[in-house]
Structure 1
Amino acid sequence: MDFQIWQYFFITTLVVSLSPGPGAIAAMGVGLNHGFRRGQVVAFGLALGVWTQLLVVGVGLGALLATSETAFSVIKWIGAAYLVWLGIQQWRSPASPITEEQATGNQAATADPVHLRRSLFLRGWMVNALNPKGTVFLLAVMPQFIVPDQALAPQYLTIAATFGVVECCVMTGYVALASKVLGLLREPNQIRWMNRSFGSLFIAAGLFLASFKRAA
């Protein structure tokens, strides 16, 4: 891939990753409830979700989602329902301040169960993978950065690596930002308000995804 084309793709990817969406909400929600060290694993899951989307587009399944109303609707409603479910879970999160050990990931003071990491990783993956809007977006945008008369495999690998790394770094920043905000919250009412705010954003994102229609 030509370096100038890569620069344009990098800027596009950075803007997309920074824009508010389910991924950013998920990263900040996890940072709010689990701190940076515990919550950072969600960023890896979100990056894997992006790679899953790229794989779907790359093997041609994205075209099916773009042309088949049934396939698109099934994935859309599953993704929307999952976001609403995450919103309800966020609403119900305990309104207790995070401890310094949880925020810094001090293993001697606070255990970090493997199942929690797996759960947060899976959450991140599902948020990005179950988003047909992302697939349609990639179908529309990615071909603009592909040079047909050059080898396709290196170009796809460059795109995947760039998108994955940018998404992971940006989402890690969102986790860190939320965990810092959480460190300033000590009153249960403040934490409850934050949990409900993020929960409402999840539900709103789910409803927005449910209303999304593929282009005719």
Structure 2
Amino acid sequence: MDESFKWRDKMTIEVWLTFLLAAIVLSVSPGAGAVNTMANTMKYGFKASLIANLGLQVGSAFNIVMVGLGLGALLAQSELAFSIIKWVGVAYLIFLGYQKFNEVSKLDLGELKAQKPEPFKLFTKSVIVNITNPKSIVFLVALLPQFMNTNESQINQIMLLGATMLVVDTVVMIGYSLLATRLAHLIKNERHVRIQNRIFGSMFMGAGSLLAVASHN
């Protein structure tokens, strides 16, 4: 029997730790989620960013469930399905970027931070950011089977590995939020706010552009 097959037939602590490392690398790599987290933190503060973080994880959980149900495999094989979701994601990220880039604040920093965020809007926007990224689903389709025991319950293993990814990403996004709070003191007037908006707007549009050139394979 192939040694790699034997290795996959055991969910040992070593296998789980290898998956944990892969999940950390995936989460730490800057993407639309990190941009979304930092932008919300710098605009509304750390506590509000936790709501957005929750939305990101709900979006990720949705993708994990899709993979568990086999829809992820269909997406990985279907050029049409991949393209539809990809272009929806591209359009949404570019829309967020355009909106942020052109956001004009007539408030000083103290007043800006005093704004009350709309929790539901923050939450739903973050959910959409993650579920409209087909590359994350394809990544899950490619990654999860490599760490699963073919002789045991697939659902239980999906739940374990999925929970691992969600916990890791939650911690990493909190780290990005804390980083954003450190940078917030650099924004001292309306001009700085405009610069910040344009930076994050450009980053959102950049994330959308990267998704646009993503291939199916």
TM normalised by structure 1 equals: 0.89
What is the SS of the residue equivalent to 1:14? helix
Could you tell me which of 118, 121, 126 is aligned with 2:128? 126
Task: Calculate percent identity across the aligned residue pairs.
Answer: 38
Could you tell me which of 78, 84, 89 is aligned with 1:68? 78
**Corresponding residue for residue 25 of structure 1:** 35
**Corresponding residue for residue 105 of structure 1:** none
Relative to structure 2, which stretch is displaced further, 168-177 or 139-148? 168-177
Gap regions ≥5 residues in structure 1: 103-109
Contact 1:83 1:202 in 2 (8 A): yes
Report the Cα distance in structure 2 between the residues aligned to 1:90 and 1:57, rounded to whole angstroms. 32
What is the SS of the residue equivalent to 1:148? coil
Cα 1:98/1:36, change in 2 over 3 Å: farther
Contact 2:55 2:125 in 1 (8 A): yes
Contact 1:34 1:179 in 2 (8 A): no
Contact 2:109 2:193 in 1 (8 A): no
What is the SS of the residue equivalent to 1:212? coil
CA distances 1:167-203 after superposition (whole Å, capped 9, x unpaired): 1111122122213311331122222111101100100
Cα 1:93/1:101, change in 2 over 3 Å: closer
Q: CA-atom RMSD, angstroms?
A: 1.8
Report the Cα distance in structure 2 between the residues aligned to 1:94 and 1:187, rounded to whole angstroms. 12
CA distances 1:33-81 after superposition (whole Å, capped 9, x unpaired): 1111122211111111111111111111112211111111110010110
1:138 aligned onto 2:147: no
Report the Cα distance in structure 2 between the residues aligned to 1:33 and 1:41, rounded to whole angstroms. 13
1:48 aligned onto 2:50: no
TM normalised by structure 2 equals: 0.88
Report the Cα distance in structure 1 between the residues aligned to 2:128 and 2:181, rounded to whole angstroms. 22
Could you tell me which of 90, 95, 110 is aligned with 1:99? 110
1:164 aligned onto 2:163: no
**Corresponding residue for residue 178 of structure 1:** 180
CA distances 1:96-124 after superposition (whole Å, capped 9, x unpaired): 4543994xxxxxxx5746xx111111111
Report the Cα distance in structure 2 between the residues aligned to 1:21 and 1:56, rounded to whole angstroms. 21
**Corresponding residue for residue 95 of structure 2:** 85
**Aligned partner letter, 1:99:** G
Report the Cα distance in structure 1 between the residues aligned to 2:147 and 2:81, rounded to whole angstroms. 27
What is the SS of the residue equivalent to 1:99? helix
Question: How far 1:92 sits from its partner (Å)?
Answer: 2.6
- The runs of at least 4 aligned residues of structure 1 exceeding 3 Å deviation read 94-98, 110-113
Report the Cα distance in structure 2 between the residues aligned to 1:143 and 1:185, rounded to whole angstroms. 45
Could you tell me which of 28, 46, 49 is aligned with 1:39? 49
Report the Cα distance in structure 1 between the residues aligned to 2:94 and 2:42, rounded to whole angstroms. 18
Report the Cα distance in structure 1 between the residues aligned to 2:135 and 2:45, rounded to whole angstroms. 29
Contact 1:56 1:62 in 2 (8 A): yes
**Aligned partner letter, 1:185:** I
Contact 2:67 2:137 in 1 (8 A): yes
Gap regions ≥5 residues in structure 2: 1-10
**Corresponding residue for residue 107 of structure 1:** none
Report the Cα distance in structure 1 between the residues aligned to 2:179 and 2:55, rounded to whole angstroms. 18
